[in-house]
A and B are shown apart, each in its own frame.
Chain A
């Protein structure tokens, strides 16, 4: 099983601040997905990055896939209380459709 290390595990910031969440591995993934999970719900996909060096933007969220396809980052600009939630990265193994999840980052944005 390929491992993904996600950091930080917890993040509490004030509204308007910027933040970055990191997802790192020593293994190569065929794609990297970012999910967001609300309490009592299942994770919901935010974005998928497939190509090494790829950058995708979703409003105030910027996702980047490392050149070697081993790491990824999620950057949120001007965080809002509505961004509060659990963010999970998931790497798709090169051998098939299996997803390996990071430990998750619990983000709290205080008004």
Chain B
């Protein structure tokens, strides 16, 4: 079972570069989300989607774009990378409805120099 797959696992960017973090799930989950994890700050929600064609902003959306053209894929785009975006990024998916389990990918460790 693949679950939630994130690529790449590691990435180094120069300030100002753009890139896309890929996320795919094979569980037919309606709900997908992107988090960033920084030391001492838990996971903070960047963007989320409740279904194909629907996206919304989370707690820290600035500098990031998302789209959801299919149920399976939810890419995260960094428009112009900044050192403040150095972090570990996690994609998660879950069924819609209260109390459902969120399944996480293994994360992408991004360094912006």
Binding site for B on A (CB under 8 A): 1, 4, 6, 9, 30-31, 33, 40-45, 48, 50, 88, 90, 92, 96-104
Contacts and interface: CB of A to CB of B under 8 A. Distances in A.
B101 A98 contact: no
7 contacts: A33-B102, A48-B99, A97-B98, A97-B100, A101-B35, A101-B43, A104-B42
Contacts of B33: 98-99
A97 B98 CA distance: 6
A4 to B, nearest CB: 8
Interface string B69-104: 000000000000000000000101010111111101
B107 A45 contact: no
B90 to A, nearest CB: 5
Contacts of B31: 97
Contacts of B106: 40-42
B92 A42 contact: yes
A96 B40 contact: no
What are the nearest 6 A-B pairs in CB distance? Answer: A42-B104, A101-B42, A31-B99, A101-B43, A103-B42, A45-B101
A97 B94 contact: yes
Which among B31, B43, B101 has the highest number of chain A CB atoms within 10 Å?
A: B43
Contacts of A99: 33, 45, 102
A105 B82 CA distance: 28
